[in-house]
Amino acid sequence: MTLGPIEAVRVFTTKLSEARRFYADTLGLPEIIANNAIAMFDTGQAKLIVEYVDPSNPETAGLVGRFTAFSFTVTNMETALNNLRQHSIEWIGLSERQAWGGLLSHFKDLDGNILTLVEYP
């Protein structure tokens, strides 16, 4: 069996309508599908699925506000940061050069999920 490329990545939210605005308006991702449980955005490769979870449910509440371990590629980190600085984004780390030569910048979405921008060398 041969696996194909990753089709989608999921991130969880307790505030779906606010998350939809963040991913569409702030990050500029085109929304493909939306209902009261999920919103799907096109990233150009994999789909990003933002999924509502009930914050009072102990089985799912821990899914929100964690390091998501996926990265958005940018061709120029400085330009990307300048464009995103126009929005209220909480930055964790800006333009850290990695041992492999690339740059990483970390920020939070409205739920505190930690996202990454990556510029490859």
Domain count, the chain: 1
Residue type at 9 in one-letter notation: V
Q: Mind listing the pLDDT tens digit for each residue in 50-96? A: 999 999 999 988 899 888 878 999 999 999 999 998 898 999 988 99
> CATH no. for residue 108?
3.10.180.10
For 62, residues 6+ apart whose C-beta sits below 8 A from its C-beta are: none
Angle ∠(89,93,65) on CA atoms, nearest 5: 60
State the pTM of this model. Answer: 0.85
1 domain-assigned: no
3 domain-assigned: no
2 domain-assigned: no
Q: Mind listing the pLDDT tens digit for each residue in 2-31? A: 767 888 999 999 999 999 999 999 999 999
Q: Which domain holds residue 109?
A: 8-119
In the block, which residue shows the tokens 């009930």? 54
